[in-house]
Amino acid sequence: MGCMEGVTQYHFGTVDWILLGLYFAVIIGIGVRLATRNKGAEDYFLAGRGMLWPLIGVSLFASNISSTTLVGLAGEAYHTGISVFNYEWMASIVLVFFAVFLLPFILRARVFTLPEYLEKRFDGSLRLYFSGLTLFLNIVVDTAGSLFAGALLLKLIFPEIDIGWTISALALIAGLYTVAGGLKAVIYTDALQTILLLIGAVVISVTAFTQVGGWSGMTEGLADAQLSLIRPMGDPGVPWLGLLTGVPLLGFYFWCTNQFMAQRVLSAKNVDQGGRGVLFAALLKLPVLFLMVLPGTMAIHLFPDLPRPDLVYPTLMFELLPAGLLGLVLAGFVAALMSQIDSTLNAASTLVTMDFVRKGKPDLSDRHLMVIGRWVTVGFMVLAAVWAPMIERFSSLFQYLQMVLSYTVPPIVAAYLAGTFSKRVNALEARYGAVIGTGTGIGLFLLNVLDVFELHFLYVGPILFVVSLVGIVVGTLRAPAPSGEQQALVWTVEFYRKESQEMRGVSWWKNYRVLSVWLLVLTGALVWAFR
């Protein structure tokens, strides 16, 4: 493949192969073991709705910090600077917002999917639209991106093997335990994968930091902008206006409405466990600056002539780590890869089974739905493997991920936010916003592809969001208010006061509001230090 030309081939030792093989054996074993414990759809798709906050938080983190993120963060830091970390710290603000305003209503609705929740707030047409869009993004963006990132790494070991065959092998392995064990297998393997992932990231960061000569060696010869989170309007990476508008919008979609992330929260035992799990995931995001972003900056000095930014993290692994340790760290990298693949495959299976199959055939038993879900997982595994090689056409993996989301998700974000805070918005108005926003997005995408004009993707998202909100407002003038049952899903001051009374006497470390404040303070301090 063109982008891989000139890349050094690396060799894997016997100990490395043993460690990697042991990892694969363990995670597949977990999936097979848990397969016998799934009694129906709720067990398979939502782990029986019994998950506690530590597992929820760790699983959210593992699924987000996947191989695509590892490769993308280090590659963008190498290419444009550490401003890519803005996507990570912004997650703290987005997740606090999610815990306060959305999470209580979503969990109390007892839904299987986020599109199902959208139906409860609006109607079935919005559910089907959002479910179809989410399926498209799960396969084309999430699963395919992870497969491509893993294939880039393995290409360094096996340059003679076509990248398509490597992608197929990775998809098969990830699909095996996901098909067997469902969400419970995904969450438990995520816990194991997070441990390996963090071990690998710490080892690489410390080794690279030592090799480059410490902080002074890393910063030597670099422009201040490369080590700054707040960048000017014309910055090609994350301009400050895009940081204030586009990044929160993409973050809201990813954390609050994306099925493959929110499915972990839907599995929570109760609202308290779900809220604390969400905040724990946000806390785990903050060290990412030191473990996954700054190593990309160090690589500027260590490997200044890499042919593609996406090769930064894999190169750091193979160049800096000795035999044995390399196998452990590679297992962590593959763990991250598997975490996102298993998450998206399980989420896509849930969407098809619960939003389309069950809706069309409501009489199917839970066991039949579980079987259908497994076959759907297999089908999507194949589709993602077929599409993944196409990502090589883009300049970098991270740009591919963010660009696709910017043109597709703003109408849904507008519908969710309008439905959360306005009792007046009903299904017709949400449809107006979705149709107008989607049509405008297609138009902007075509103009960009035809080189009529060039617009940063972080500005595309806010423009489409505003257009969608205008469509909703226009619809409000023509449609009656929604039913009382739908209005019960709207956040109000009265709800806040009632919840405050329920939380009186709760210890501070169990009070999600207190934890949210401390999390925001810690996030602000980190951003200020690297402003």
pLDDT exceeds cutoff 70 at 191: yes
Q: pLDDT-derived band of residue 3, with 50, 70 and 90 as boundaries?
A: very low
* Structure confidence by residue, pLDDT tens digits, 67-92: 667 778 898 899 889 999 999 999 99
Q: Which residue has the higher pLDDT, 310 or 278?
A: 278
Mean pLDDT of 344-356: 80
Rounded to whole angstroms, the Cα distance separating 483 from 121 reads 9
pLDDT exceeds cutoff 80 at 48: no
pLDDT of residue 264: 84
Rounded to whole angstroms, the Cα distance separating 10 from 490 reads 56
Q: Collapse the DSSP code of 231 into the 3-class scheme (helix H, G, I; strand E, B; otherwise coil) and give the result.
A: strand
* Structure confidence by residue, pLDDT tens digits, 209-222: 999 999 999 999 88
Contact 131, 429 (CB under 8 A): no
pLDDT of residue 411: 92
- Radius of gyration in angstroms for the set of CA atoms belonging to the chain, rounded to a whole number: 22
* Structure confidence by residue, pLDDT tens digits, 120-152: 998 888 888 888 888 888 777 777 777 777 777
* Structure confidence by residue, pLDDT tens digits, 385-413: 887 777 766 666 666 767 788 899 999 99
Lowest mean pLDDT among 241-250, 340-349, 353-362: 340-349
pLDDT of residue 178: 60
**Please, which residues bridge with residue 268 across strands?**
51
Rounded to whole angstroms, the Cα distance separating 73 from 79 reads 10
- CB neighbour class for 102 (10 Å; exposed up to 12, middle 13-18, buried from 19): buried
pLDDT of residue 2: 38
Q: Which residue has the higher pLDDT, 370 or 340?
A: 370
Which long-range CB contacts under 8 A does 105-112 form with residues at least 24 apart?
A: 105/420, 105/489, 105/491, 106/262, 106/265, 106/266, 107/265, 107/266, 107/268, 107/270, 107/271, 107/274, 108/271, 109/489, 111/266, 112/41, 112/42, 112/45, 112/46, 112/266, 112/350, 112/354
Q: What is the mean pLDDT of the chain?
A: 82
The candidate with the shortest Cα–Cα distance to 115, out of 138, 92, 88, is 138
231 phi and psi angles, rounded to 5 deg: -115, 155
Residue that has been written with the tokens 């699963």 in this structure: 143
